[in-house]
Amino acid sequence: MNTLRVFCFSCFLVFTSSNSQELILEEHFSGNRLDETVWNYELGNGCPDLCGWGNNERQIYTKDNVAIKDGNLVLTAAFNGKNYTSGKINTKNKIEFKYGTVEVRAKLPTGQGVWPAIWILGTNISEVGWPKAGEIDIMEYVGKNPHEIHTTLHTSDSYGESKNTKITTIPSIEAGFHVYKADWTKDFIKFYIDEVLVYTFSPELKNEETWPFDQPFYLLLNFAVGGNFGGPQVDDSIFPQEFLIDYVKIYKPKK
Higher pLDDT: 3 or 62? It is 62
Asked whether residue 10 carries a pLDDT value surpassing 80, the answer given is no
pLDDT > 50? residue 253: yes
Please name which of 225, 222, 223 lies closest in space to residue 80, comparing C-alpha atoms.
Answer: 225
Convert the pLDDT of each residue in 124-157 to its tens digit: 999 999 999 999 999 999 999 999 999 999 999 9
Domain count, the chain: 1
Nearest residue to 197 (alpha-carbon basis) of 205, 189, 207: 189
pLDDT at 220: 98
* Residue-wise pLDDT tens digits, 181-193: 999 999 999 999 9
DSSP assignments along 52-91, one per residue: GGGTTB-EEE-GGGEEEETTEEEEEEEE-SS-EEE-EEE-
Bond into 146 cis (ω within 30) = no
Closest CA to 117 of 207, 211, 249, 245: 245
Check pLDDT > 50 for residue 194: yes
Domain residue limits at 84: 5-253
Q: If DSSP codes are grouped into helix, strand and coil, which group holds residue 51?
A: helix
> What is the model's pLDDT at position 181?
98
What does the pLDDT look like over 65-92, one tens digit per residue? 999 999 999 999 999 999 999 999 999 9
* Percent of the chain residues past pLDDT 70, beyond the cut: 93
Cβ 223 vs Cβ 245: under 8 Å:
no
- CATH number, domain with residue 240: 2.60.120.200
- Active centre residues (catalytic): 135, 140
Mean residue pLDDT of the chain comes to: 93
